[in-house]
A and B are shown apart, each in its own frame.
Chain A
Amino acid sequence: MPTGKHAKGKTVSRRRVLSDAAKTACGVALFGLAVGLYARPSRSLPADAVRPPGALPEKDFLGACVRCGLCVRDCPYDILKLAELGEGVATGTPYFTARSGPCEMCTDIPCVPACPTGALDHTLTDITKARMGLAVLIDQESCIAFQGLRCEVCFNVCPVRGKAIKLEYRPNKRSGKHAVFPPVVYSDDCTGCGLCEKACILEEAAIKVMPIRLAKGELGRHYRLGWEQKQKAGDALVTPDPEHKYNLPEGLRYDHSGRGLIADEPAAPRTGSALDTLRKGIREAR
């Protein structure tokens, strides 16, 4: 143990060293807290920002993207952008906005191999397998196809044509005699490229690419659809219901599949007046 004057000097300097270290550590920790808290909200991608094809799920992506912009450079259509400080997207990470510049779905996907870290998954080689987001026909009130007008622009620009967006048809209740052809998106085939959102003729697109986490519902894992199970098993898994019997007059049947009440033999043609029929009835009764 040091003693005397020498020891005293040493104690003071040790105290100073310790307090300096504590000060530094506190300052750095406070800075870390601020950055950490700032990092929390920036983990969620704004709904109108779309990641390039092959991007890992958002949280993994933010831990894998080195913010170099090589994907931006290799995009031949120049649609990608590195987020700037103050935008909703994590600073320096690449994204595109479907309405202003959608992914043109290059078949060789040059942006993906450009990524040096694998934040864009290099195993993605077929662009139709990309899932950048999911198109959602978000506003049926404004979409003119729902008004019975023949638009179909989104259906026609879709690069997975006829699969990702299909036109259904329904009766047009307003006119009573025409059809309505609403576009319907199928998530099995939609890549989220955003070409439909870009092409939508409205002032504000009625069809929009949304992050899959926002756009997609999910059935409870325990849930089974009876007809699918039946198909898998080749037979119903429960005892089939006995066919319902109707107590109908002779010669009449009931068809569930739409035809309704059916008379096997057409009734004898009615002739004469109502009075004859009545008399005939009385005669038969005797």
Chain B
Amino acid sequence: MSAVIEKLGHDAIAAKGRLGAHKWLILRRMSQLAILALFMAGPVGGVWILKGNLSSSLFADTVPMTDPLAFMQLIAAGHLGVASTAVTGAALILAFYLLVGGRVYCAWVCPVNIVTDTAHWLRRRLAIKGSARIAREARYWMLGLVLILALATGTLAYELVNPVSMLHRGLIFGMGFGWAIIAGVFLFDLFIMKHGWCGHLCPMGAFYGLVGAASLVRVRADNRAACDDCMECYEVCPEPQVIPPALKGERRGGGEASAAILSGACTNCARCVDICPHDVFNFGLRFPAAPAGRRQPQLIGTARHGA
């Protein structure tokens, strides 16, 4: 494995060039920074395209957008008379992520992703071994906790400490001691646990993961026949457990699994697309189930249950 880590990405760079082997990563960073820039253009430069923050915002003074999890917390806190703009906003955002992939939020929008990716990169550079063991399912417990806290306190209690909204809001409106929480997430991911926050604990990731379980755009392993088991995609993937069903194409109890990565935990970050020298992975829709040309008609209908 260490040999793999040392030359991680070399094959991809040889095959596609440095830019080609980082295409999606660069696009992702551009997306994350562009969204932040649009929010900051108003207060800094007086150009008001996006107003507010990721919890709720207004695009071009007309289109409302509201984070669906924040909206659910409002409902849980007992604020049932929610004005229509928040309802519209939450529905729009939900529909958007149902289309492009739930955890596209994590990989393409969330500013904490830059923090934890940096921690992960540094972790690899410093060859920090060992990681605390927390189940990936812990995030769903966290998601439940967020709603229970809202229900029990009647306030948006989790939003007092939520690193995601805190970082984004902090960058735009002022951070205070919020830096400490972000630094905490960074150090936790760096020294204590690999992919600790985003991959195991973040309730927002859990929520968007649930959305992603039904979303349309997915990473697919359509060219899985070309896989030579170099394992580099597993190494770069923040949720490596999502790969095997699509890549190996085996279904429990026999039969061929969908080539689409159907697990909602996949963030559509496309690091696997970048890192693969044989272009096994590509973006596509959750249908058709099997790779083109090798499709088995009787399996199409059951593809949803493949993961």
Contact = CB atoms under 8 A, between A and B. Distances in A.
A24 B137 contact: yes
Contacts of B180: 85
A152 to B, nearest CB: 37
A116 B141 CA distance: 29
Given A62-B155, A63-B154, A66-B156, A24 B174 contact: no
B159 A67 contact: yes
A83 B158 CA distance: 15
Contact of B170 (A40, A42, A84): A84
A119 B175 CA distance: 22
Interface string A17-51: 00011001101110110011011101100000000
A106 B268 CA distance: 46
A73 B46 CA distance: 11
Interface string A57-71: 001101111111110
A116 B135 contact: no
Interface residues of B, number: 58
A122 B82 CA distance: 11
B149 interface: yes
A116 B156 contact: no
Nearest to A42: B160
A81 interface: yes
Interface stretch (B70-78, B229-237, B273-281): B70-78
A279 to B, nearest CB: 93
A274 to B, nearest CB: 87
B176 A85 contact: yes
A21 to B, nearest CB: 7
Contacts of A114: 58
Contact of A67 (B82, B148, B165): B165
Interface stretch (B48-56, B96-104, B284-292): B48-56
A250 B58 CA distance: 87
Interface in A112-153: 114-119, 122
A72 interface: yes
Contact of A118 (B64, B82, B173): B82
A179 interface: no
Nearest to A20: B135
Nearest to B152: A36
Which of B148, B158, B173 has the most A CB atoms < 10 Å from its CB?
B173
B77 A90 contact: no
Contact of B149 (A36, A67, A81): A36
B85 A116 contact: yes
A251 interface: no
A32 B161 CA distance: 11
B114 interface: no
Nearest to A122: B83
B174 A82 contact: yes
B138 interface: yes
Contact of B78 (A63, A86, A118): A63
B74 A70 contact: no
Contact of B57 (A63, A70, A82, A87): A70
Nearest to A64: B79
Contacts of B57: 68, 70
A271 to B, nearest CB: 88
B55 A35 contact: no
A70 B51 contact: yes
B157 A85 contact: no
Given A20-B135, A28-B145, A60-B79, A69 B85 contact: no
A32 B149 contact: yes
Contacts of B152: 36
A92 interface: yes
B42 interface: yes
Given A25-B141, A84-B176, A85-B176, A66 B134 contact: no
Contact of B174 (A31, A36, A62, A84): A84
Contact of A68 (B55, B145, B158): B55
A117 B79 CA distance: 9
A62 B150 CA distance: 10
A91 B166 contact: yes
B91 interface: no
Contacts of A116: 56, 58, 64, 66, 83, 85-86, 89
B81 interface: yes
A35 B79 CA distance: 20
A21 B176 CA distance: 35
A63 B74 contact: yes
25 contacts: A24-B135, A24-B138, A27-B134, A27-B138, A36-B149, A38-B157, A42-B160, A63-B74, A63-B79, A64-B82, A66-B67, A67-B70, A67-B165, A68-B55, A68-B66, A69-B169, A70-B51, A85-B170, A85-B175, A92-B159, A116-B66, A116-B83, A116-B89, A117-B74, A118-B86
Interface of B: 42-43, 48, 51-53, 55-58, 64, 66-67, 70-71, 74, 77-79, 81-83, 85-86, 89, 134-135, 137-138, 141-142, 145, 148-150, 152-161, 165-166, 169-170, 172-178, 180-181
Given A84-B174, A117-B66, A117-B83, 12 more contacts: A35-B158, A38-B157, A63-B150, A64-B74, A68-B52, A82-B173, A84-B176, A84-B178, A91-B160, A92-B169, A116-B89, A117-B79
